[in-house]
């Protein structure tokens, strides 16, 4: 995995119409699905982002359509690199991140395999940075990485460190395409809910901001499921608030869990939610 996109990966395919996104195949992951999103923004600039390997790139300003030699075009073509790399300011996960579990540290892989099989991990957007000794959890939109969380091995406190991209809104998208939305605390719990057939939104903590709630409500889900850890009094309060607010829009189920959803297998997750 790399955090760099070559301009030839996206410039020849960039849509001409502002606001439009096209999808293309980029890297091996995602079982043949087209995971590279290339968007022409309203200002005419282009952003490209691969949802599998998280490589990114784009232009800093408006460019003409479908240039065969992007480097000669108006505006600077950039490729995502690590924050400390030559393109400082472009937000990206650590540049040495590896999606393939053969390259993961033993302790990190053992931890992740408590919850996901190695095939599921390899097919997911998770990656591991050997330099950081951390698993990287991406929080994305169609066009941007909004933030990522890192979980370090050996374990540190806090368990997850959060790194925000300060060039985007602080709103990442839910995962999955179902009309039932499951709210979880952590990324893997959300991913497992998606594998079980639902849409999911990881709070990346135990609080949902007003803004994020508004964005979720606007997607018009037919049902909400709140799957936060019920053990902690502060989380229980947040759970009641979410139930009160989401139930104004659609039927809302609260799961009274004493462990994270990621600790359940997929059939058990389906049993809990149906």
Shortest distance (Å) from residue 186 CB to Zn ion: 24
Shortest distance (Å) from residue 9 CB to Zn ion: 9
Report the C-alpha gap between 103 and 136 in whole angstroms. Answer: 14
Q: Which of residues 40-59 bind Zn ion (CB under 5 A)?
A: 50, 52-53
Report the C-alpha gap between 239 and 16 in whole angstroms. Answer: 45
Binding window for Zn ion (CB under 5 A); candidates: 22-30, 64-72, 165-173, 201-209: 22-30
User: Six-digit token pair at 30?
Assistant: 């995602």
Nearer to Zn ion, 53 or 77 (CB): 53
Q: Which of residues 137-176 bind Zn ion (CB under 5 A)?
A: none
- Rg (C-alpha) for the chain, rounded Å, is 19
Shortest distance (Å) from residue 197 CB to Zn ion: 25
Contact 52, 99 (CB under 8 A): yes
* CA-to-CA separations, 134 to 68, 81, 105, 114, in angstroms, rounded: 39, 18, 9, 16
Contact 141, 168 (CB under 8 A): yes
Shortest distance (Å) from residue 173 CB to Zn ion: 18
Shortest distance (Å) from residue 141 CB to Zn ion: 16
Cis peptide before 154 (omega within 30 of 0): yes
Nearer to Zn ion, 27 or 194 (CB): 27
Selected binder of Zn ion within 6, 12, 23, 27 (CB under 5 A): 27
Nearer to Zn ion, 27 or 195 (CB): 27
Report the C-alpha gap between 25 and 37 in whole angstroms. Answer: 9
Regarding 38 and contact with Zn ion (CB under 5 A), the answer is no
Contact 256, 230 (CB under 8 A): yes
Residues touching Zn ion, count (CB under 5 A): 5
Shortest distance (Å) from residue 55 CB to Zn ion: 5
β-bridge partners, 78: 58
Q: Which of residues 206-235 bind Zn ion (CB under 5 A)?
A: none
Contact 231, 186 (CB under 8 A): no
Alpha helices by DSSP H, listed for the chain, are 7-10, 106-112, 118-122, 187-195, 210-217, 233-246, 266-273
Nearer to Zn ion, 56 or 199 (CB): 56
Nearer to Zn ion, 5 or 269 (CB): 5
Shortest distance (Å) from residue 29 CB to Zn ion: 7
Nearer to Zn ion, 6 or 243 (CB): 6
Nearer to Zn ion, 53 or 182 (CB): 53
- Interface contacts to Zn ion, rule CB under 5 A: 26-27, 50, 52-53
């Amino acid at each position: 995995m790399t955090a760099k996109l070559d301009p030839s990966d996206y410039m020849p395919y960039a849509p001409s119409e502002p606001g439009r996104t096209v999808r293309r195949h980029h890297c091996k992951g995602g079982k043949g699905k087209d995971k590279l999103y290339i968007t022409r923004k309203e200002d005419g600039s282009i952003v490209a982002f691969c949802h599998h390997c998280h490589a990114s790139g784009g232009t800093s300003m408006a460019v003409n359509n479908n240039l065969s030699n992007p480097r000669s075009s108006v505006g600077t073509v950039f490729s995502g690199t690590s924050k400390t790399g030559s393109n400082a300011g472009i937000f990206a996960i650590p540049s040495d991140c590896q999606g393939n579990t053969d390259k993961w540290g033993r302790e990190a892989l053992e931890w992740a395999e408590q919850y996901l099989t190695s095939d599921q991990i390899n097919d997911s957007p998770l990656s591991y940075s050997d330099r950081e000794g951390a698993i990287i959890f991406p929080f994305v939109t169609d066009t941007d990485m909004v933030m990522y969380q890192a979980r370090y091995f050996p374990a540190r406190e806090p368990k997850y460190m959060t790194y925000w991209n300060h060039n985007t809104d602080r709103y990442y998208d839910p995962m999955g395409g179902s009309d039932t939305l499951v709210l979880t605390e952590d990324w893997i719990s959300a991913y497992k809910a998606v594998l079980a057939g639902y849409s999911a939104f990881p709070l990346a903590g135990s609080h949902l901001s007003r803004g994020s709630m508004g964005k979720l409500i606007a997607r018009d889900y037919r049902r909400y499921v709140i799957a936060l850890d019920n053990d902690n009094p502060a989380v229980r309060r947040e759970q009641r608030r979410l139930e009160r607010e989401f139930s104004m829009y659609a039927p809302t189920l609260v799961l009274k869990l004493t462990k994270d959803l990621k600790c359940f297998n997929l059939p058990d997750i389906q049993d809990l939610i149906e």
